[in-house]
Each structure stands twice: as C-alpha cells, then as structure tokens.
A and B are shown apart, each in its own frame.
Chain A
Amino acid sequence: MTSKNSIYKMTLEHLRHSGWMIALSFIGNLFAGPVILLFEYSNRDYDYLATIYDAKEFLFYKSSVMVSSLADLCGSTFLAVSMIGALIVALGIFYYLFQSSKVDLYHSLPLTRNELFYSGYLAGLLIWFVPFILNSLITLPLAIFCAGGFAHINMLLVAFLKMLAIPTLGFIIIYHLCLVTVMLSGNMSNTIIATLVWGTAPIVFYLLFNVHFEQYFDTFHKFTINEFLLCAFAPVVAPIIIQVGQMDDNMGNMLGIIIFISLLIAAINFLVARGIYQKRKSELAGRGMENKVAALLTRTPASIAAGLFGVIFLYFVGISNRRVLWSIFFCVFFSVFTFAVLSAVQKKTVKALFAHKAQMVVTAAFSMGFILACHFDIFGYDTYLPAKDNIASCEIRISAMNQYYYYDEDNPYTYHNPDVIYDILTAGVEKSEYANATSVTVKVIPKSGFSYYRSYYIPMDKVETLRPIIEDDDYFAYIYQDYIDNANRMSGVYLHDLTRGSFQVEDATQAEQLWQAYHMDLQEHCSMEEQTSYIAVGDIEFSIRENDSENYCMRDLPIKSTFRYTLAYLKEHYPNLALHKDDLKINELRVNLSLGTETTVEEYYQEMLTPSGPVKRGTYEASEDYYFETYATIEPVADYECSFSPEELTWLYNYLEPSRDHADRLNADNYYYFGEIELNTGVNISCYIKKGTMTDSEISTLATIVNEKKRLIEY
C-alpha cells in the first residue's frame, strides 16, 4: 500500500532539509545556462564574419551563433551539470541511509519503504528539475535577445528542446544508476566508487581496446564496437554522444533506439533500486559495501582495467627491453593494487586489503592471461588464416599511403577477389616488426557470413600485395568520390594563395590537357610511394562542370609533391606561380594599422544598422605606443599603405608567416596579426608575426618605421 499523501508529505520534508542542494542546483544551472550564454555572447569573436558586408546577413549569422550556443554550449554545460548533479542529489537525498541514527528516525516513521523511496526519489527530481527548467526558461529569451531580436524562432526552439532533452536524459540515467549504488552501499565512498566503475567501465574498456590496442597488446585485433553498442552497454555515454553530435554523423536513425535503450536501462535501474530499498537492511548504515555480488562486480572490472592500463603505462614509461616481463609486472601490480585498495575501501578497514585472496589472484591472473594470450597468440587469433575458398569478400581501409582518401565507415569499400584478400592477410605483420609499413584494416567476411576484423601493417617489401586493390578502378572511384572522370567535366582551377585569380578552361583542347595532367597527378597521388613533407602555401580547387551547373571539387591539397603535373601545366600560364614558401617574394607590404582601436565587428555592424546615416568607422588616435592588434579584433579604423625598402622587407620577412597553412593556426592566441602582403604572385595575403619572435626593441624599431612611413603618406 502506497499513500500519495504520505509521499507528498515526506517529499516536502526532504525538500525542507535540502536547501543546500536546491541552492547548489540553482547556481549550477544558472551558470550552465544564462551565465555561460551571456559570457559566450560577450566573449565571442566575430572575426570570421569579416567578409560579411550585409547587415541582414550578419544578423543571420549572429542568430545562428545563438542557436549553436543554445544547443551546443548550453546543452553541453547543462548536461555536465546534470550528470554531476544527479550524483550529488542521489547521494544527498538518500544520505540518511549511511547514518545509523538517521535511519532509525526515517525507518521508524509510519511509512512504507515504498513511500520513503518514492518521496526521496521525487524530492531528488524536483531539486534538479525545477532549477533546471527555470534556468532554461531564462536562457531561451536571453538567446533570443542576444540574437538581436531577429532570431530564427523555429531554430531556436528546436535548439531549446534539444537543450532540455539531452541533459534530462543524462540526469535520469546517472540518477537511477546512483540510486542503485546508494542502495547497495553503506557509505559515500563506496557509492561513488561503484557509480564510477559501473558507469564508466564499458567506456574504459572501450578506450582500452580501441585506442592502439593492437600496438599495446601485440595483436592484430581491431576492436569493432561502434557507438550503438557502446551506448547499449554504457548508457551513461549515450547523452554525451548525442550531445557532441557523433550520433548525427554516424548513427543516423539509431538515435531513437539509443534513447530507448538508455531509458530502458534507466527504468531497470529504477526498479532495481526500488526493489533493493524495500529489502535494504537498516543496519547497513555506515558500513562498506556489504552486498558481496555488488562488491565483487565493482572491484573486479576496476582491477582488470587497471591491469590492462598497467601494460599501456609501460609504453609511457618507455621500457623497451624485456617488454613481456615488464608487461606482466605492471599488469599484475596495477591489478593487485587496485583490487586490494578497493577491498579495503569496501570493508572500511586496511585489514581487508587481502581479504579476498582467491578473487584477487584470479583477477590478476585473468588480466595477465589476457595480455599473454594476445602477445603469444595463445589462441591462434593472429595467425588464423581462413581458407581461400572460404573467403567471400573483405572491407578494406588502407591508410598511410596517402592521407587524401575518402572513407565512409557506414559504407566501406568492399573487395571480392579471394586471392588478393588472402595475400593481404598473409602479408600482415605487427607494427613493431617493421618500422616502414602501411596500415590496413580489413574486415573479412567468410562465406558463413560471420565477419571478423584485423588491423595489420603491410611492410613496404610486401606492399605490392595491395596493388591489385589500389589499381582497381572501383577502389579508385571510391576513394576519390569527386573524381573528374573525363575531360568534358573539367571546368577550371582555382589556385588559392598561389596566384591571383583562377584558371578557366577555354576550349576542349585545354580541358583535355588539364584533365591529363590532373589524371596523372591522381595516379601519382594514389601511388604507394610515401609522400615527403612540405610546406603548403596554398590550395588547389577544381571546378567541375555537371549538367549545366558548376560545382567545385575542393581539395585542401598541399602543392609541392602532388598535383605537380597540373601545376606544371598551369605554370605555363602563370610564370609567377609559387609552389613553395621559397618561391614567394614580397612585392609590397601594406600594413593595416589597427592602432588604438577597440572597434569590433559587432559594434561596427551595429553602427551600420543605425538609421542616422553613414557608417561611422571610429576615430583613429595616434599613439606613441605601437602595438599589434590580435587577429580577433578586425576591421581596423584605417588603412595605410607603407612602402618599405628592400632591406626593410628582407628584415621583416624573417618574422612574417605568409602562409595560409600557418595562418589557419591563428585561432590560437600566439600570433599577432600584422598586415597584408602583396606577393610576387600577385596575391595579397595576410601575414602574421608569432609572439615572441620579435624582441621589444625590434617591435619598437618596426613601430618607428611604420610610423615614419605613415606620416610620409599622411602628409
């Protein structure tokens, strides 16, 4: 019998004594929502909007930024707060179970265990949900306001619902898991440990098995679990994966199933927690983890994971001699140490360090056996080769040969020649045996339909085994999805930062010549020669003619060693085409002075919106103290062209980075924006000075030069 009235009264009683949690929840959610949104709004760089000159367009982007902030930033912070909050709330509400005198009070009240459980459960939900909903409701109008009142309401509402749903899912999952661990434990430390172990064990094992597993454990094994399975085994990660958008890219329609599984597991946890609470012994209060099964399920996975981590730790330590012996040592040590510590914590006494000797030995032996089985291939996993006539097909991914291939995990390339597949499987070695090798991941599909993965390295002396695949037309078409398959589609080439303008194909002959060059480049690009390193100075972008329209096949391709035939052809038309930094010469340096300006792009466009008239660009005030504005502040108050002497240019050039590749790194704060250079290729590019490369006196010298030049122009 459960009385709603009793639950209601006891819920109020719980809430009455949870003022600190309510305050904490409100503050946490306040910072996760409204504060972080306003902070982001105040702190956001709008530098990437520099090319936008239309006020409406600017507002559109601004609105997009707010949508993104709401769904991604606030969603993430709300999720983080909710997951931590779930642990705190569950512990805080049911903390009485850990105190004997408090248990006496609660359990002597004329209430059923169900009523006590539900009242605590509801109080926990309210403690988190009410502040969360309140702060979410504050966040939404703030986002609309920050979007300048021109927000796309539909997009904002969708973002708002996402911001509500994912943290709620995260809270429910952690809250229910934590309820189970609270019910099974008699004190806080054991509850936290059990929650961490059960909540994160699948993720830890996933990471242990998935990240360089074959390298650490000397096996060809390739862990093949995907996000779907990960979420199924570890619902704790489901909201995180959904929040960071992994699901959108890789899982597609699995999203609904993942949410369903997560909620199902949460519901099971709820029922388990309630069931345990009904039978929970009051005398557990203040004790460790008395439930033997729960205690075992906590310390065993943690100890096995620690043992496996011990082997990885070996790599960080950098021991290379007697690696197997050291692997065993680290594995056993980490495993035993973790097991002993957890045993002591669970029993709340150091005397219990070795209370479960047999279990400890079995756990350490399992961890050790696992790594030895991998290393010595005890089960013949690595040496297994299917019979040729039993191979149906394989899905293959070749990397390291060139990095500009296309690969879609959901739609992998499938190869069917069993002879070639068998040769590749035979040629596969471990990385440790060959320094010079290319990696191949194959999923072999025997005729039985059962598939298995292997992660090999193919040594360069056996790389020919891959040639049938690499020269396969289907494979070629697969890895170059934007392949221009005939000259008729060749429309033109854009050479970013290599020269001014673009090359447009004028006739069929030119198209054919350019296509031939392009095709030779691709052939070379797909060759199995290792590529040399280079400094990229620009991008090459082909435009493709397709059904009366043009689209662009943008490849962020470095120039020196690839597409050399194309460039050689184009160089006939562009004598000044630069292929390398060394080819670049500075014709002229134009410095965009941004002295003393505080005008940001946002204010700039806000001024544009004023109905009072022309754009105000701020007032330039000359300053004795010259400094370089960072890249973040854009649209300087005035432009001044400075002509430098050859000596000055030579001196300056030592400090400048006239490279788009390097410029891409300028999101970091370690560069000063300096100005714009006109190159000998006719292209104007921005250039930057790395912080610290110039001494104060050199900066002063430069300032003096710039000031002098400026005056010359001014007067």
Chain B
Amino acid sequence: MIQIHNISKTFENYKALSDICATIKEGQVFGLIGTNGAGKSTLLRIISGIYQADGGTVTVDEEPVWDNPKAKSLIFYLSDDQYFYPNETPMDMLKLYEKQYESFDRARFLKFLESFHLDKNRRINTFSKGMKKQLSIFYGICAGTKYLICDETFDGLDPVVRQTVKSLFVKEMETRDFTPIIASHNLRELEDICDHVGLLHRGGILFSKDLESMKLGIYKMQCVFKNIGDVTALCDAFPVIHQEMRGSLYTITLRGTREDIDAKIASLSPVFYELLPLSLEEIFITETEVAGYDFKELYL
C-alpha cells in the first residue's frame, strides 16, 4: 500500500502540491486525473522517489520511499517521456533494467517484443512514439515490481495495443501482486480500467474514491416541471453541482442518494423525468467546475 500523507512541493515560488493525502491500496488500478498543471507528474515523481517532497511523507509498504532502494525496488516509473540511450537497442536497455531489478523477466520481455513485432536489435531512436511507449510498458511489466507508475503512458498507443495493455494489466493483477497507478487525461480509458480515482486540481486533491461509489454519490437528471417552484424545491433539497435550462427542460447534477432523489421527484410529480448515467469525464468537469476550473464564460 502506498500512503501519501500531507505531501507538499514548491518549485521556486510556485506551489505545485499542497498537503496531498491519499492511499493507494494493493490490487487495484489507481487512476490519477487532474487539470493541466495540477501536479500529477510531480506527485508521481515523489511517489517514485525521484523528487523529494518539501513536506509530508510517502511510504510504500510502510517504507519511506525517498532514497530508499528497498521501497524503490517495488516501483517502476514510466514517465511520459521515457529516456532511452541514444543508439541503443531494446536489448541494450534491457541490460540496465536487468541489473537493477532482480526479478526482471527476460524471457517474457523477449516474447513481448516478438508478439508486438518490435525488433530487438533495432535502435530505439528509430522507433515511433507509440512503439517507444509499448517498449517502456514492457520494461515496466517485466521488471516484476509491485507498483507500476504510468505517467500518461497510454497516450500515443493505438486502440488495439491500448486494449492489449489493459488486458495485460488485468492478467498481471490476477497472477501476482500488481498495482498500476495511471495518470492520464484520457478519462474514457481510465474509466474502463480504474478501480479507484484521485482527482488533483491546482496542487490539491479534490477527491480520492472508488469509481463506483463516486458515481453513486452524484446524479444527473433531465426533467420538466409544471411549476418553476418545483425546480426550486428540488434544488433546495439537494446540493446542486450544476444546473442548466433549455426551454422547459432542466438538466440538473446534484449530490444525494438514489432513494432520496427518487422520493423527492415523486413528490413533485414532474411532467418528464429521466436519470442519466454519469461518465468519469462528466464527474471530472463537474468537480473541477465547482473548484472554479471553468472557462465557458470566456466563449459563451
């Protein structure tokens, strides 16, 4: 388990992270989402032991991660711009990882290269961006670490490979103690694979919840009422996150339990009422809008 407690990080005068707390449990896929410049990469680098936090602690399986090979040996970090030595082939890079990660599975790595048609003797700098991403994921999986940190690693992969990698992650989780931590802006992808999501915004964490429970707490509905006072009554009864009106059709996003909302709607006798499924993207937009991350007024 990775425990993040009150992590802060400042770059010169810019506060990148402020009192972040989160827990990444074993055996689940943790998705890290956030607005641009929210501090996702910084947080992942701190978890990986690359950056040292100005304040707070990060422990990996109860070991502090900073300058601690024991904790770092449990983590493989894949950056959004993974470094490969110039003029080196996948086999050359393999030597580095083999030396540093004792449980590196060479045979499996070679099998991956063969299956994905990556020439093991071709120089990596001649690979396409997507091929490099594939290669780095294979290094990460074959390193055999408990935690695999992927910083926007899925960006650049074609849909087939993306699905395959997702399947690989699932298979890894079934066969061994494996916890991927994935930061991405592609929320649709995360929605498919993640069990738990943390949302960062302006250096602070807005929430860190299981995906299902998060969806259960927020509801979006479309409804038409005879009286406008009924709309007011509904909005007074629940914390409204977002409200929109087109003609007599109201689209309202609010927090509450399904039962309470159903009961309230029934008491108001709407002309039309429909509960809509909420996607992760909508949750993201909704939550960040609440936090003031809203640029619509600039163009509407």
Contact = CB atoms under 8 A, between A and B. Distances in A.
Report which residue of A101, A103, A107 has the largest number of chain B beta carbons within 10 angstroms of its beta carbon.
Answer: A107
Contact of A111 (B75, B85, B100): B100
Interface stretch (A221-229, A275-283, A383-391, A486-494): A275-283
B37 interface: no
Given A16-B95, A111-B100, A283-B11, A6 B69 contact: yes
A691 interface: no
Contacts of B99: 9-10, 12-13
B101 to A, nearest CB: 7
A467 interface: no
Report which residue of A16, A100, A282, A283 has the largest number of chain B beta carbons within 10 angstroms of its beta carbon.
Answer: A283
B11 A110 contact: no
B114 interface: no
B83 A102 contact: yes
Contacts of A278: 67
B2 to A, nearest CB: 15
Interface in A79-113: 99-105, 107-113
Interface stretch (B45-53, B159-167, B277-285): B45-53
Given A13-B99, A110-B100, A282 B79 contact: no
Contacts of A103: 50
Interface in B96-122: 96, 99-101
B67 A282 contact: no
A17 interface: yes
Nearest to B79: A104
Contacts of A279: 52
Contacts of A290: 12
Interface string A1-36: 101001001101100110000000000000000000
Nearest to A1: B69
A282 B81 CA distance: 15
Contact of A17 (B76, B77, B79, B85): B85
B100 A112 contact: no
Nearest to A279: B52
B286 interface: no
Contacts of A17: 85
Report which residue of A1, A99, A105 has the largest number of chain B beta carbons within 10 angstroms of its beta carbon.
Answer: A105
B73 interface: yes
A108 B49 contact: yes
Nearest to B51: A282
A101 B72 CA distance: 18
Contacts of A112: 67-69
A111 B85 CA distance: 19
Contacts of B101: 110
B85 A101 contact: no
B82 interface: yes
Report which residue of B11, B69, B77, B81 has the largest number of chain A beta carbons within 10 angstroms of its beta carbon.
Answer: B69
Contacts of A108: 48-50, 72, 75-77
B52 A104 contact: no
B72 A110 contact: yes
Contact of A99 (B51, B82, B83): B83
Contacts of A3: 69
A112 B77 CA distance: 16
Main secondary structure of the interface of A (DSSP, over half): helix
A278 to B, nearest CB: 7
B100 A104 contact: no
B37 to A, nearest CB: 14
Contact of B50 (A9, A10, A282): A282
A103 to B, nearest CB: 7
B99 to A, nearest CB: 4
Interface in B47-77: 48-52, 67-70, 72-73, 75-77
B95 A104 contact: no
Contact of A104 (B12, B67, B69, B77): B77
A493 to B, nearest CB: 76
Nearest to A111: B69
B51 A283 contact: yes
B49 A107 contact: yes
B253 to A, nearest CB: 38
A281 B95 contact: no
A405 to B, nearest CB: 63
Contacts of A100: 81
Contacts of A102: 83
Given A109-B72, A112-B67, A282-B45, A9 B79 contact: no
A39 to B, nearest CB: 34
A110 B79 contact: no
B77 A113 contact: no
Contacts of B95: 13, 16
A110 B73 contact: yes
Nearest to A278: B67
Contact of B100 (A109, A113, A281): A109
B203 to A, nearest CB: 15
A101 B75 contact: no
A110 B96 CA distance: 12
Contacts of A282: 45, 50-52
A278 B52 CA distance: 11
Given A110-B69, A283-B51, A101 B100 contact: no
Contacts of A13: 95-96, 99
Contact of A9 (B11, B73, B100): B100
Interface string B151-190: 0000000000000000000000000000000000000000
A695 to B, nearest CB: 61
A279 B66 CA distance: 10
Interface in A268-302: 278-279, 281-283, 290
B45 to A, nearest CB: 7
Nearest to A105: B83
Nearest to B145: A110
A16 B94 CA distance: 13
Report which residue of B11, B12, B100 has the largest number of chain A beta carbons within 10 angstroms of its beta carbon.
Answer: B100
Nearest to A17: B85
Interface in B1-53: 11-12, 45, 48-52
Nearest to A99: B83
Contacts of A16: 95
Nearest to A103: B50
A104 B85 contact: no
Nearest to A96: B83
Interface string A680-701: 0000000000000000000000
Contacts of A107: 49-50
Report which residue of A3, A104, A111 has the largest number of chain B beta carbons within 10 angstroms of its beta carbon.
Answer: A104
B115 to A, nearest CB: 25
Nearest to A113: B67
Nearest to A13: B96
A115 B81 CA distance: 25
Nearest to B71: A110
B79 A101 contact: yes
Contacts of B79: 101, 104-105
30 contacts: A1-B69, A3-B69, A9-B100, A10-B99, A10-B100, A16-B95, A101-B79, A101-B83, A102-B83, A104-B45, A104-B50, A104-B77, A104-B79, A105-B79, A107-B50, A108-B48, A108-B50, A108-B77, A109-B72, A109-B100, A110-B69, A112-B69, A115-B69, A278-B67, A282-B50, A282-B51, A282-B52, A283-B11, A283-B51, A290-B12
Given A99-B83, A107-B50, A108-B77, 20 more contacts: A1-B69, A9-B100, A10-B100, A12-B99, A13-B96, A17-B85, A100-B81, A101-B79, A101-B81, A101-B83, A102-B83, A104-B77, A108-B76, A110-B69, A111-B100, A112-B67, A115-B69, A282-B52, A283-B11, A283-B51
Interface of A: 1, 3, 6, 9-10, 12-13, 16-17, 99-105, 107-113, 115, 278-279, 281-283, 290
Closest 10 CB pairs of A and B: A110-B73, A108-B77, A101-B83, A110-B72, A110-B69, A105-B83, A107-B50, A9-B99, A104-B79, A108-B48
Interface of B: 11-12, 45, 48-52, 67-70, 72-73, 75-77, 79, 81-83, 85, 95-96, 99-101
